């Protein structure tokens, strides 16, 4: 890759963030949620950064294989369970815990069991723990309260070890129905007479609702140093550290006059003579095309004593496929080759997300294959 | 990858779309623009689909290596030229044409030349053609009109073959300044006394401004069957064919009651009893998180005689990282395992983009690595 754009993953920050979760939750068991290629951070970084997690939670069997090959021996949870009966042998071989969220998945398990010898069946049940999923109001995956006991009894009868899991719809929005309290009540009530661990808390619930931490918490976005609400100020006091730094360089500079326009659709019109920096980073790298004028970009300035010295400037003009344009009028020291940070240590990813009407989650996951990933 | 989401690339449609460009432009030379991993379609598909193009235009040297290895012997153009002097040996070795858009790039070339033997210097100049870029009003890359002649004379003096290129800011927005006519006049005027080919027309200009087709056209988005304006109806009459089909399956179904809500933030509130389909496709696959309720999704229905039989339904609720939810109330035949098309033949990618306040370009490029790519 010759373009200067790069994503740097700071593994130490993943470790520190996980540690924060352990402290906040009073040392609860932690499923580190690493789906979507570890929210764009790479499996390698998760293996190292979350070595102290009690388990890793994800979706793709492909990632499971990779983690076991790297030497991960602790639990792995498939958050959507199996997509067909034919995945079961790999589940057993890799000792995965699996979510069961639908009767069809139960049928697949039962069908598969019926083909096994008693010894093989025992092996299956000793290697694979099941996390039954309750739909307590999210209305996405999971059994409704009325069906949940049926599924539970069935699995217990088959001889499986069964745990309990649900997911909140509004842990980051206090007054929207169903609330965390509503869903938690349904979860507690439905599972009260059952054995097994309970897990409900995502990042937002970890931060705001200690009474739902239960046995296992499931942090995602906070492990990567971004805010579950999308607002950086909501997590600023906690000291989470950004794990991904997206950086690039200025590849051209244009001096334009008052009244001149920049880029597609001429969205930016210069109110004064303006020095425009062109940065090798566009929406095909994963930078959000929705970003408005003023979205912050950090430009590093030459300094013999401080490698982090820089200035926050604003995006101007529409994001192109391979480039963005920024206002360098205030910093004549910036030149072709000057380094910029798109998000990371100086520009919270949440701030870029806010200027693009989205959340940090989407930006992290959207960094594309053509961006070189460097794991520190 | 065990999740059922998949992107299918129909190479024949790339061929047909290229053919359309040839016909529309009266057999002009064509640079097929294939940056950003061929707008998400893969280098392999470009090599086959655009075998009749006169050249391929892109950004990454990595892609150049791959194409030459596959056996591409025609021209390749690096649209942003070189990012440092040290890339020049690879440029020569791979016989790339390069854009020069800035004096610094000229300096790198001159410096490199000064280190060569006369024989090596001749070899460089015979293998590498230069496309000088004029900034005619886009104010992104390129020399201003006043500097352009200087750069041209310099390169001619060094002994290079030089061609001419500019890029339109508003080829898809008629009344915004600078217009295609404005920019074309500057381009013509600046280059009128110079030798070499001229190239200016992107997809929009190919479709709407025949007088700027010049020697080489540079189609991008239209080759992939989407509209440069973002509106499918603007290209519907031309018969361009969608080259990418994004498909997945229903992995769960929820029956919810009037007043129930779906997903994060409870954005969707059921006005009646509703059958909700959960599809394995989320923003971490590249589906736009900005998609509004009603964004079309095609659900295939079981039919012994028609494998394409289906119904267009609407997205309901916020797009999650790994899932979307759709309204299946009208089609009780749909079940877990039913196939869906997110975009492609039944749902124009432009329509999904419109419901997400963006353009098809962004969606194609944003399909992530975890989506299995199948090239037909």
Tell me, what's the pLDDT at A216? 98
The CATH number fitting domain B244-375, selected from 2.70.98.10, 3.30.465.10, 3.10.20.90, 2.40.37.10: 2.40.37.10
Query: Of the candidates A3, A139, A176, which has its C-beta nearest B254's C-beta?
Result: A139
- CA A88 and chain centroid, separation: 26
Q: Minimal Cα–Cα distance from B28 to chain A, Å?
A: 25
Q: Does A352 touch chain B (CB under 8 A)?
A: no
Q: Which residues 301-320 on chain A approach chain B with CB closer than 8 angstroms?
A: 317, 320
Active site annotation includes A224: no
Residue A242's nearest CA partner among A312, A341, A342, A345 is A345
Q: Does A251 touch chain B (CB under 8 A)?
A: yes
Answer positive or negative: Cα dihedral of A253, A257, A258, A260.
Answer: negative
Residue B201 exposed, middle or buried by CB count within 10 Å (0-12, 13-18, 19+)? buried
Q: Which DSSP string corresponds to A199-243?
A: E---HHHHHH-GGG--SEE---GGGGT--TTS-GGGTGGGT----
Tell me, what's the pLDDT at B1? 61
**Rounded to an integer, what distance in angstroms lies between the CA atom of residue B282 and that of residue A155?**
30
Instruction: Return the domain boundaries, chain A.
Output: 11-231, 244-375
**Rounded to an integer, what distance in angstroms lies between the CA atom of residue A361 and that of residue B5?**
20
Lookup: tokens for B349: 């990618």
Query: Of the candidates A62, A80, A261, which has its C-beta nearest B139's C-beta?
Result: A261
Q: Using only C-alpha atoms, what is the Rg of chain A?
A: 24
Query: Of the candidates B266, B290, B325, which has its C-beta nearest A290's C-beta?
Result: B290
Q: Is A289 close to B322, i.e. CB distance below 8 A? A: no
Q: Does A37 touch chain B (CB under 8 A)?
A: yes
**Rounded to an integer, what distance in angstroms lies between the CA atom of residue B90 and that of residue A322?**
22
**Rounded to an integer, what distance in angstroms lies between the CA atom of residue B201 and that of residue B194?**
19
Contacts B256 to A, Cβ<8 Å = 139
Query: Of the candidates A141, A173, A256, which has its C-beta nearest B265's C-beta?
Result: A173
Tell me, what's the pLDDT at B303? 84
The tens place of each residue's pLDDT in chain B, 376 residues long, gives 689 999 999 999 999 999 999 999 999 999 999 999 999 999 999 999 999 999 999 999 999 999 999 999 999 999 999 999 999 999 999 999 999 999 999 999 999 999 999 999 999 999 999 999 999 999 999 999 999 999 999 999 999 999 999 999 999 887 888 999 999 999 999 999 999 999 999 999 999 999 999 999 999 999 999 999 888 888 888 999 999 999 999 999 999 999 999 999 899 999 999 999 999 999 999 999 999 999 999 999 988 888 889 999 999 999 999 999 999 999 999 999 999 999 999 999 999 999 999 999 899 999 999 999 999 9
Q: Does A252 touch chain B (CB under 8 A)?
A: yes
- Residues 6 or more apart from A355 whose CB is under 8 A from it? A291, A292, A294, A295, A296, A315
Tell me, what's the pLDDT at A2? 83
Tell me, what's the pLDDT at B231? 86
Lowest mean pLDDT, pick from A88-97, A161-170, A287-296, B174-183: B174-183
Collapsing DSSP to helix, strand or coil, A153 comes out as helix
Active site annotation includes A287: no
DSSP state of A264: G
Catalytic residue among B69, B264, B312, B374: B264
Q: Is B265 close to A169, i.e. CB distance below 8 A? A: yes
Q: Does B325 touch chain A (CB under 8 A)?
A: yes
Find the angle CA(A57)-CA(A58)-CA(A59) to the nearest 5 degrees. Answer: 145
Find the angle CA(A269)-CA(A274)-CA(A275) to the nearest 5 degrees. Answer: 125
Catalytic residue among A69, A115, A264, A312: A264
Beta strands A6-9; A244-256: pairing state:
antiparallel
Q: How many CA atoms lie within 13 A of B253 on its CB side?
A: 18
What φ, ψ does residue B292 adopt, rounded to 5°? Answer: -90, 165
DSSP state of A72: -
Lookup: tokens for A371: 């961006």
Residues forming a β-bridge with A134: A143, A166
Lookup: tokens for B326: 């759709």
Q: Using only C-alpha atoms, what is the Rg of chain B?
A: 24
What number does CATH give the domain A11-231?
Answer: 3.20.20.10
Q: Does A321 touch chain B (CB under 8 A)?
A: yes
Q: Is B368 close to A290, i.e. CB distance below 8 A? A: no
Contacts B251 to A, Cβ<8 Å = 80, 83, 102, 141
Q: What share of chain A is helix, strand, coil (3-state, %, to 5)?
A: 35, 20, 45
Tell me, what's the pLDDT at B17? 97
Lookup: tokens for A262: 């920049």
Most B CBs within 10 A among A62, A186, A252, A317, hence the mutation to make, goes to: A252
Tell me, what's the pLDDT at A286? 95
Q: Name the pLDDT band for A235 (thresholds 50, 70, 90).
A: confident
Q: Tell me: pLDDT of A1 over 80.
A: no
- H/E stretch holding A47 reads helix A43-49
Tell me, what's the pLDDT at B148? 98
Under 8 Å between Cβ of B288 and B315: no
* pTM of the predicted structure, to 2 decimals: 0.94
Under 8 Å between Cβ of B166 and B133: yes
Read off the pLDDT of each residue in A258-269 and give the average, rounded to a whole number. Answer: 92
Contacts B278 to A, Cβ<8 Å = 140-141
**Rounded to an integer, what distance in angstroms lies between the CA atom of residue A41 and that of residue A51?**
15
ipTM of this complex prediction, to 2 decimal places:
0.93
Q: What is the 3-state secondary structure (H, E, C) of chain B?
A: CCCCCEEEECHHHHHHHHHHHHHHCCCCEEEEECHHHHHCCCHHHHHHHCCCCCEEEECCHHHHHHHHHHCCCCEEEECCCCCCHHHHHHHHHCCCEEEECCHHHHHHHHHHHHCCCHHHHHHHHHHCCEEEEECCCCCCCCECHHHHHHHHHHHHHHCCCEEEEECCCCCCCCCCCCCHHHHHHHHHHHHCCCCCCEECCCHHHHHHCHHHCCCEECCCHHHHCCCCCCCHHHCHHHCCCCCEEEEEEEEEEEEECCCCEECHHHCEECCCCEEEEEECCCHHHCCCCCCCCCCEEEEECCCCCCCCCEEEEEECCCCCCCCEEEECCCCCCCCCCCEEEEECCCCCHHHHHHCCCCCHHHHHHHCCCCCEEEEC
**Rounded to an integer, what distance in angstroms lies between the CA atom of residue A152 and that of residue B326?**
28
Max distance between CA atoms of chain A, in angstroms, equals 81
**Rounded to an integer, what distance in angstroms lies between the CA atom of residue B373 and that of residue B41?**
8
Q: Does A370 touch chain B (CB under 8 A)?
A: yes
Q: Tell me: pLDDT of A199 over 80.
A: yes
Q: Is B369 close to A369, i.e. CB distance below 8 A? A: yes
Collapsing DSSP to helix, strand or coil, A269 comes out as strand
CA nearest to A91 within chain B: B2
**Rounded to an integer, what distance in angstroms lies between the CA atom of residue B43 and that of residue B51?**
12
Tell me, what's the pLDDT at B305? 86
What φ, ψ does residue B56 adopt, rounded to 5°? Answer: -115, 135
Q: Name the pLDDT band for A233 (thresholds 50, 70, 90).
A: confident
Q: Minimal Cα–Cα distance from B236 to chain A, Å?
A: 23
What φ, ψ does residue B299 adopt, rounded to 5°? Answer: -110, 120
Contacts B169 to A, Cβ<8 Å = 261, 263-266
**Rounded to an integer, what distance in angstroms lies between the CA atom of residue A312 and that of residue B59?**
28
Contacts B173 to A, Cβ<8 Å = 265
CA nearest to B173 within chain A: A265
Q: Minimal Cα–Cα distance from A104 to chain B, Å?
A: 8
Q: Is A251 close to B80, i.e. CB distance below 8 A? A: yes
Q: Is A170 close to B266, i.e. CB distance below 8 A? A: yes
Query: Of the candidates A59, A84, A370, which has its C-beta nearest B37's C-beta?
Result: A370
A 10 A CB-CB count for A54 gives 15
Q: Is A283 close to B357, i.e. CB distance below 8 A? A: no
Q: What confidence tens digit (pLDDT) does each residue in A23-63 have?
A: 999 999 999 999 999 999 999 999 999 999 999 999 999 99
Q: Minimal Cα–Cα distance from B277 to chain A, Å?
A: 8
Q: Minimal Cα–Cα distance from A1 to chain B, Å?
A: 6
Q: Minimal Cα–Cα distance from A251 to chain B, Å?
A: 7
Q: Minimal Cα–Cα distance from B283 to chain A, Å?
A: 6
Q: Minimal Cα–Cα distance from B177 to chain A, Å?
A: 7
Most A CBs within 10 A among B3, B83, B139, B229, hence the mutation to make, goes to: B139
Residue with tokens 């509503």: A182
- Residues 6 or more apart from A23 whose CB is under 8 A from it? none
Q: Name the pLDDT band for A229 (thresholds 50, 70, 90).
A: confident
Catalytic residue among B35, B44, B161, B292: B35
**Rounded to an integer, what distance in angstroms lies between the CA atom of residue B228 and that of residue B203?**
6
Contacts A37 to B, Cβ<8 Å = 284, 368-370
Q: What confidence tens digit (pLDDT) does each residue in A293-346 have?
A: 999 999 999 888 888 899 999 999 999 999 999 999 999 999 999 999 999 999
């Amino acid at each position: 890759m010759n373009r200067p754009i790069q994503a740097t993953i700071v593994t130490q920050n993943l470790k520190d963030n996980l540690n924060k979760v352990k402290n906040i939750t009073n040392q609860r068991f932690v499923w580190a949620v690493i789906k979507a290629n570890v929210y764009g951070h790479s499996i390698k970084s998760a293996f190292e950064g979350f070595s102290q997690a009690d388990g890793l939670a994800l979706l793709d069997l492909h990632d499971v294989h990779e983690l076991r090959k790297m030497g991960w021996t602790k639990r792995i949870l498939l958050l959507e369970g199996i997509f067909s009966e034919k995945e079961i042998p790999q589940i057993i071989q890799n000792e995965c815990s699996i979510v069961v969220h639908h009767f069809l998945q139960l049928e697949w398990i039962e069908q598969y069991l019926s083909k096994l010898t008693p010894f093989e069946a025992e092996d299956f049940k000793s290697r694979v723990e099941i996390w039954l999923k309750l739909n307590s109001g999210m209305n996405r995956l999971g059994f409704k309260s009325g069906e949940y006991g049926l599924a539970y009894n069935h699995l217990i009868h088959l001889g499986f070890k069964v745990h309990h899991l649900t997911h909140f719809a509004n842990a980051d929005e206090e007054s929207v129905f169903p609330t965390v309290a509503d869903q938690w009540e349904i979860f507690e009530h439905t599972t009260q007479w059952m054995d097994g661990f309970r897990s409900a808390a995502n990042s937002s619930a970890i931060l705001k609702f200690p009474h739902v931490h239960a046995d296992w918490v499931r942090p995602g976005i906070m492990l990567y140093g971004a805010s579950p609400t999308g607002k950086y100020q909501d997590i600023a006091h906690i000291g989470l550290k950004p794990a991904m730094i997206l950086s690039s360089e200025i590849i051209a500079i244009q001096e334009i006059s008052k009244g001149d326009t920049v880029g597609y659709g001429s969205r930016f019109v210069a109110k004064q003579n303006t020095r425009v920096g062109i940065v090798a980073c566009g929406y095909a790298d994963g930078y959000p095309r929705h970003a408005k004028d003023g979205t912050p970009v950090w430009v590093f300035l030459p300094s013999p004593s401080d490698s982090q010295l820089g200035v926050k400037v604003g995006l101007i003009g529409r994001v192109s496929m391979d480039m963005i344009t920024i206002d360098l009028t205030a910093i004549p020291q910036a030149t072709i080759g000057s380094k910029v940070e798109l998000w990371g240590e100086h520009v919270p990813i949440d701030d870029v997300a806010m200027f693009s009407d989205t959340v940090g989650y989407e930006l992290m996951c959207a960094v594309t294959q053509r961006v070189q990933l460097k794991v520190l």
